[in-house]
Amino acid sequence: MKKLQQITPELSLVEYNEIPVLEIDHPEVKAKVALQGAHLFSWQPKHTDKDVFWLSEIEPFKLGSAIRGGVPICYPWFGSLGEPFHGTARIRMWELNQYEITKDKVFLRFDLKAEDGKGLDAQMAMELGETCTLTLTHQGAGQANPALHSYFNIADISQVELHGLPTTVFNHLTHQQESVSSPRLISENVDEMYSVENAITTIVDKGYQRQIEVQHINSTEVVVWNPWHKPTSNMTDSGYKTMVCAETARIHSSLNKGQMIQAKISVKSN
Ligand SMILES: O=P(O)(O)OC[C@H]1O[C@@H](O)[C@H](O)[C@@H](O)[C@@H]1O
């Protein structure tokens, strides 16, 4: 790891293998954001002893390869709505163009320049403190169908409940609408899309004795994913046991220029 720049006492730029990473070390919060993808992959408010986000233990931090963990930004499209899968933004460089440090939190704004060099495609604003607010604003031409593909750090997938989701879901593995339990328990490969606006998902983690709450704002879907034994790039065979994705998505109703999706994340002990 090579230090590139000390921006302020709380913010430093460090190289993780091929990727520049902004490290935040503030009395209230620690966090890490890769400039590739404006990709938050670690957030730990002072009152918790474990990271809220999961990061693969074999993440190689290679340019052009999306980081396996944290909050990949799927933009301008989700999944196979275009090529590459989950859009280009997670493998492009973003610029840190604004920051503000207060006694409670750190505010960061990253811009994604348009590929033709004219104007912006998107902006990501992060407020990192006791809570974490991520706001993705579509600034480009045309429409966007993004998602904030958050991977949460849990003690053991077999002891986790997801609360606040509907009991009907589109299962991407069987390509059909199905009925599921609420709260949702996961015991196999799941790749499912819940059509629900502005949902609040609560991840009840008995192992770590804590609850993570995600408010999905301006979203029209929540995607839940865990690959279980399905081989997945940059992930160990047992990596699935300690992660669950609960994604803030805007898939079937596009965003126009100036519109945003937001995830507000908080964590509390039981
Ligand atoms: O491996 P990737 O490109 O990061 O995608 C991971 C998963 O992301 C989820 O959002 C999709 O619903 C899954 O279908 C996909 O497998």
Tens of pLDDT, residue by residue over 59-86, are: 999 999 999 999 999 999 999 999 999 9
pLDDT given at position 146: 98
3-state secondary structure the chain: CEEEEECCCCEEEEEECCEEEEEEEECCEEEEEECECCEEEEEEECCCCCCCECECCCCCCCCCCCCCECECEECCECHHHCCCCCCCHHHCECEEEEEEECCCCEEEEEEEECCCCCCEEEEEEEEECCCEEEEEEECCCCCEECEECCEEECCCHHHEEEECCCCEEEECCCCEEEECCCCEECCCCEEEEEECCCCEEEEEECCCCEEEEEEEECCCEEEEEECCCCCCCCCCCCHHHHEEEEEEECCCCCECCCCEEEEEEEEEEC
State if pTM tops 0.90: yes
Confidence label for 270 from pLDDT (cuts 50, 70 and 90)? confident
pLDDT of residue 184: 98
Q: Does 247 qualify as catalytic in the annotation?
A: yes
Question: If you take atom 8 of ligand 1, which residue's CA is the nearest one?
Answer: 225
Predicted confidence at residue 70, as pLDDT, reads 99
Confidence of residue 169 (pLDDT cuts 50, 70, 90): very high
What is the pLDDT at residue 5?
Answer: 97
* Closest protein CA for atom 13 of ligand 1: 191
So what's the pLDDT on residue 125?
A: 99
pLDDT, tens only, 205-257? 999 999 999 999 999 999 999 999 999 999 999 999 999 999 999 999 999 99
pLDDT, mean of residues 10-39? 98
Alpha carbon distances (Å) from 241 to 44, 56, 91, 194, 208: 20, 11, 26, 22, 13
Mean pLDDT, the chain, rounded, equals: 98
From the CB of 191, is ligand 1 less than 6 Å away?
Answer: yes
What pLDDT is attached to residue 27?
98
Is pLDDT above 90 for 157? yes
User: Once rounded to an integer, what is the mean pLDDT over residues 163-178?
Assistant: 98
Pocket of ligand 1 contains residue 84 by CB under 6 Å: no
Mean pLDDT, rounded, for 135-139 = 98
Q: Which residue has the tokens 């609850």?
A: 211
| CATH number of 2-269, picked from 1.10.3660.10, 2.160.20.10, 2.40.37.10, 2.70.98.10 | 2.70.98.10
Residue 185 pLDDT class (50, 70, 90 cuts) = very high
- The protein residue with its alpha carbon nearest to ligand 1, atom 9, reads 225
Q: What is the mean pLDDT of residues 121-140?
A: 98
Residue spans per domain, the chain: 2-269
Segment 131-142 shows an average pLDDT of: 97
**Does residue 39's CB lie within 6 angstroms of at least one atom of ligand 1?**
no
The answer to whether residue 213 is catalytic is: no
Question: What's the pLDDT at 124?
Answer: 99
Catalytic residue (choose from 26, 86, 149, 216): 149
Kindly state if the Cβ of 235 falls inside 6 Å of ligand 1. no
Per-residue model confidence as pLDDT tens digits over 12-26: 999 999 999 999 999
Q: What integer pLDDT is reported at residue 1 of this predicted model?
A: 80
Q: How far is ligand 1, taken at its centre, from the CA of residue 109, in Å?
A: 26
